[in-house]
Amino acid sequence: MPQKARAAIVDKSEAEFRIADVEIDEPGPHEVRVKLVATGLCHTDLAVRDGVLPANFPVVLGHEGAGVVEAAGAHVHDLKEGDRVVLSYGSCGDCRPCMEGDPAYCDHFTDLNFLNKRLGSDKPVLGGEVNGAFFQQSSFATFAIAHERNVVKVPDEAPLKLLGPLGCGIQTGAGAVLNTLAPRAGTSIAVSGVGSVGLSAVMAAKLAGCHPIIAIDMQEERLKLASELGATHTINAGDGEVPEMVRKIAPEGVDAVIECSGAKPAAAIA
Ligand SMILES: [Zn+2]
Ligand SMILES: [Zn+2]
């Protein structure tokens, strides 16, 4: 039986979110239906809404969902009703990057995350004309269908209201440092732009023993938070030439720069 739900629909590029009733298909053999408790709002959602990234409209966006499994398909073995979970991005599991343990580089990433292709089924997730399966979740809704590949169980006592961003922003920043950069203790690092992704990179750099950890931003309150979370130095990019200010802290420059601001001048420096 389809599940009735409320969802935030974007009808066309640059339109406002519109709250409406939708019908969500029942979970397929490898899927779960999740009752959402909270979801993060990521810049990617807004870039898709505004037509900067690929999209099929009308669409239900949202890709940082956290909630409780409410129904599980017949072939789902690691998840059951009542499990508390966080949702992340979709990946096929069969292509070479997926087989080699790099699902973020899945050959089908665009189809499975941006273009509403439901993994393992041609049946649409949502009734009517509305596109779902955004990042295999479309979490801007009261219920979501997710594939077992993009669902991670969390402890029962974990605060679900806070955990949605684990599925995108936090793992993006932390993963860039811990998995891609894989720094040795003592690696010097600068993080440009300390929103949720950059702050996660700062926390990961601290965890990895990086030094110095230089946070760069234009907002003082973000820099203050970065200091609390592990930055050893902060630079307000509005105060002058950033490379010079970095060299005052690290005379030979830094070993690594993580660029999280999306600002063109920052990318040029990195
Ligand atoms: Zn995101
Ligand atoms: Zn793949």
Backbone angles phi, psi at 93, to 5 degrees: 85, -10
CATH code of the domain in which 37 resides: 3.90.180.10
Q: Give the count of domains, the chain.
A: 2
Q: Which ligand is located closest to the Cα atom of residue 108?
A: 2
| Ligand 2: centre distance to CA 108 (Å) | 6
User: What are the structure tokens assigned to 146, written together?
Assistant: 């997710």
| Ligand 2: centre distance to CA 112 (Å) | 9
Q: How much is the pLDDT for 265?
A: 80
Residues near ligand 2 ion, CB 5 Å cutoff: 91-92, 95, 98, 106
One domain for residues 9 and 107: yes
Q: How much is the pLDDT for 159?
A: 96
Q: How much is the pLDDT for 269?
A: 67
Q: 146-166, pLDDT tens digit by residue? A: 999 999 999 999 999 999 999
Q: How much is the pLDDT for 270?
A: 62
Closest CA to 194 of 248, 107, 99, 262: 262
One domain for residues 193 and 217: yes
One domain for residues 180 and 259: yes
CA angle 192, 195, 200 (to 5 degrees): 85
Q: How much is the pLDDT for 6?
A: 98
| Ligand 2: centre distance to CA 90 (Å) | 9
Burial of 270 (0-12, 13-18, 19+ CB in 10 A): middle
Q: Using CA of residue 208, residue 44, residue 82, residue 77, what is the dihedral sign?
A: negative
One domain for residues 8 and 79: yes
User: Which residues pair with residue 87 across a beta bridge?
Assistant: 151
One domain for residues 182 and 136: no
One domain for residues 189 and 249: yes
The CA-atom distances, in angstroms, between 132 and each of 120, 142, 160, 176, 227 are: 14, 13, 23, 28, 39
Q: How much is the pLDDT for 133?
A: 98
* 250-255: Cβ within 8 A, 24+ apart: 250/188, 250/212, 250/214, 254/188, 254/189, 254/190, 254/212, 254/214, 255/183, 255/187, 255/188, 255/189
| Ligand 2: centre distance to CA 114 (Å) | 14
Q: State whether residue 227 is helix, strand or coil.
A: helix
Domain of residue 265: give its range: 171-269
CATH code of the domain in which 190 resides: 3.40.50.720
One domain for residues 10 and 108: yes
One domain for residues 100 and 140: yes
One domain for residues 161 and 92: yes
Closest CA to 135 of 154, 120, 150: 150
* Weakly modelled stretches of the chain, pLDDT under 70: 269-270
Backbone angles phi, psi at 258, to 5 degrees: -105, 120
Q: Which ligand is located closest to the Cα atom of residue 149?
A: 2
One domain for residues 163 and 192: no
